[in-house]
Chains A and B, each alone.
Chain A
Amino acid sequence: MSAQTHNHARSTARVDFGHAVVQIRGRRLSVRFAVRSVVTVVVLAALAGTLALVALTLGDYPLTLEEVVLALTGQDAGMANLVVVEWRAPRALAALAFGAALGVSGAIFQSLTRNPLASPDIIGFATGSFTGALVVIVIIGGSYVQVAGGALVGGILTAAAVYALSYKRGVQGFRFIIVGIAVSAMLASLNTWLMLRAELEVAMSAAVWNAGSLNGITWAQAGAGSVAVVVLMLLAAAQSPGLRQIELGDDAAKALGVSVEPVRLGLVITGVALTAAVTAAAGPISFIALAAPQIARRLARTPGVTLAPAAAMGALLLLAADVLAQHALPSSLPVGVVTVVIGGSYLVWLLVHEARRQV
């Protein structure tokens, strides 16, 4: 009985965490996998693009398809133009860009830690950026840009503090995680306190920010966010060979002559920066970074998580979640609430499904 259980544990571990195990084989078969990866990316991108067009037609301001098209082609300068071009379009763009960014960021962290639950959250980034945002929202009462700045500063300071506090002749994984948990716990307490002290209205808008919301996003915000995200994703793509080598394990990488620590630090910084850009613009939207790389890995049937499919999946997921968040209920919700519910349900389904398959 017990031996059998143990076996199951191992096989589950291979399904969920296993790409390190089959990595070498994966390299050998990389050409065969690449075709499927490309197809996956193309299909996901096409779906996301279609959904973006659908999103332009949905909303409480009643518009016919014809009016939407007229607005998009610039032949209607009235309210339709405002609603479609100034409101719905930047929101859809932001969902695509930020979703892709979160997907890539998650893929980087999951590869680095060889852990499907890893995300920049383990270094307290989300908690720290919420602290920064809360200070601006509750104490200073600042504007969108100030909140974004506060979130950035808070998140980066937290990440730096965790890194520094866990640094002792190099950063060792377990210590890093524990320090991350400890620092996050303190900041989470501080956040709870700030929320308690704030007026109900202020606390609620802070809670909306903390869930992650694309509501009221303008071209200036979506545009700046998208540019930052695209630049960072290119940077991530440039670093992906280093990522593959680190995935083999520190020792193997060292044997290949790769200096692990600088490469790792570069990747961590890129991953954090991607999350930071999204968090600053829209709040800490959770579960996309976690779910997108894993779903993409299953679709593309790659041995490990890969950046491009994760990006396409993230874009599709976030846009779909935002469409649901806006239109599924009589009253709209922050998109982050939907991503966390869907992402969590997916994980539950996966656990049950994969267990069934093994029996």
Chain B
Amino acid sequence: MTPSTTTARATGASPRRGVARTNRWRLTGLILALCGLAALALLSVAVGSRPIPLSEVLDAVFNYSGQIEEHIIIAQMRMPRTLVGLAVGAALGLAGALIQALTRNPLADPGILGVSSGAAFFVALGVSVFGVGTILGYVWFAFAGALVVTLAVYLIGSAGRGSADPVRLTLAGVALGAVLSGLTTAMTLLDPTAFDQMRHWNAGVIAGRGYDILLPVLPFLCAGVLIALLVARPLNSIALGEDLAAALGTNTLWTRIAVVAAVTLLAGGATAIAGPIGFIGLMVPHIARWIVGPAQPWILGYTLVLAPALLLISDVIGRVVLRPGEVPVGIITAFVGAPVLILLIRRRRASGL
């Protein structure tokens, strides 16, 4: 991570244009991506460790019977899981796009604000100190951790003055994240039960997450999406540099606060539901930027569609690679995403994305 140099580079590189140069092409691409996402969602409902023929899948959707095992699997397991995947993927991607725009650092991901380390620390506290006994309990501890730690990172990053600049925010996130991860390791090494719970929570799982987990968190995710869409244009001008943004009449301080709030709600909510799922927030905005260039509203739009697509395809792969067992989705995302990112960066000219 090179906050100073990459900030400079990203700023320098931001006028680069994407593959789709006109809004017409961008819109066509977005519609295509949406179709792809719909197909993936269908795949995610149709594929699982138990093979179920497509006709039975459709039957379960349109002619549900609570007595047929296959119908229960489709309606009560795969459909909620798919919806959770859509929500978590979209939230993580959006949070990543926002944080990259805010810090003007194309290597930033939501974890840089301490979201995942904060969530993990609080879940570990919950397990080993408060004896939290339900998955829903984990959800609230994780969410609280994400909120508290992001706030702390923001306060440290802005210590001594009104607003936090991106470099200091990044440093504060890295530093506090390190402290918390160290404390989490210490706590779990002293408590084997907590260690065992945490190593599974840490993998990032959407299997078995039903509406009972999704619905309580959904309002926060929606609020995050709303804020994100509202700040898309001001962010666009911030990406051009703060002086220019000020000249264009953008209120930098409030835009920053709004972005940090949105990132916390989105990434915090997603992490609360599924545990820390890495790489989506880092990578998908890159792809979006590669397609549409530096226009923030388009980047956010594409991210909103491509991020859940990456999550769903990873989850489907995770269900089939080790039948009859499953691999947690958080483990697959990097294996699907990283090669794409490497190919992409190798195809670009030297000056960055």
Contacts and interface: CB of A to CB of B under 8 A. Distances in A.
Interface of A: 1-3, 5-6, 8-9, 12-13, 16-17, 113-115, 117-118, 122, 165-166, 168, 172-175, 177-179, 181-183, 185-186, 188-190, 192-193, 195-196, 200, 203-204, 207-208, 211, 286-287, 331, 333-334, 336-341, 343-345, 347-348, 351-352, 355-356, 358-359
12 contacts: A9-B168, A12-B168, A115-B1, A174-B351, A207-B188, A287-B178, A334-B185, A340-B185, A344-B182, A345-B175, A351-B159, A359-B161
Interface stretch (B133-141, B228-236, B327-335): B327-335
B202 A192 contact: yes
B2 A117 contact: yes
Contacts of B1: 115, 117, 122, 177
A319 to B, nearest CB: 18
Given A117-B2, A179-B342, A331 B190 contact: yes
Interface residues of B, number: 72
Interface in B171-210: 171-172, 174-183, 185-186, 188-190, 192, 195-196, 199-200, 202-203
> Which of B172, B181, B182, B195 has the most A CB atoms < 10 Å from its CB?
B182
B268 interface: no
A349 to B, nearest CB: 9
Nearest to A115: B2
A219 B162 CA distance: 54
Which of A175, A341, A348 is packed against the most chain B CB atoms within 10 Å? A348
B342 A174 contact: no
A9 to B, nearest CB: 4
A168 to B, nearest CB: 6
Interface in B228-280: 242-243, 245-246, 252-253, 278-279
Contacts of B174: 117, 347
B199 A196 contact: yes
A91 to B, nearest CB: 19
A204 B195 CA distance: 8
B30 to A, nearest CB: 25
Contacts of A181: 107, 282
A286 B178 contact: yes
A208 B190 CA distance: 11
B145 interface: no
A176 B328 CA distance: 29
Given A17-B4, A189-B335, A182 B342 contact: yes
Given A5-B161, A113-B2, A115-B2, A343 B186 contact: no
Contacts of A174: 5-6, 9, 350-352
A5 B242 contact: yes
A1 B278 contact: no
The 5 closest A-B pairs by CB, nearest first: A344-B178, A355-B160, A347-B175, A344-B179, A340-B182
Given A182-B338, A185-B278, A340 B181 contact: yes
B165 interface: yes
A218 B168 CA distance: 42
B105 to A, nearest CB: 11
Contacts of A211: 185, 189
A356 B159 contact: yes
Given A6-B165, A178-B353, A344-B179, 18 more contacts: A5-B252, A6-B243, A16-B167, A16-B171, A174-B351, A179-B342, A183-B342, A185-B338, A192-B199, A192-B202, A192-B203, A337-B189, A340-B179, A340-B182, A341-B186, A344-B177, A345-B179, A351-B156
Given A5-B161, A185-B338, A12 B167 contact: yes
B35 interface: no
A322 B202 CA distance: 27
Which of B3, B160, B243, B253 has the most C-beta atoms of chain A within 10 angstroms of its own C-beta? B160
A179 B345 contact: yes
Contacts of B338: 182-183, 185-186
Given A3-B243, A186-B334, A347-B178, A341 B199 contact: no
Given A13-B167, A165-B346, A355-B159, A114 B186 contact: no
Contacts of A203: 195, 199
A287 B253 CA distance: 32
Given A182-B341, A208-B189, A344-B175, A189 B334 contact: yes
Interface string B315-353: 000000000000110111111011101100110101111
A12 B165 contact: yes
Given A175-B346, A344-B179, A192 B331 contact: yes
Interface in B280-333: 282, 327-328, 330-333
B5 A114 contact: yes
A113 B1 CA distance: 10
A331 B190 CA distance: 8
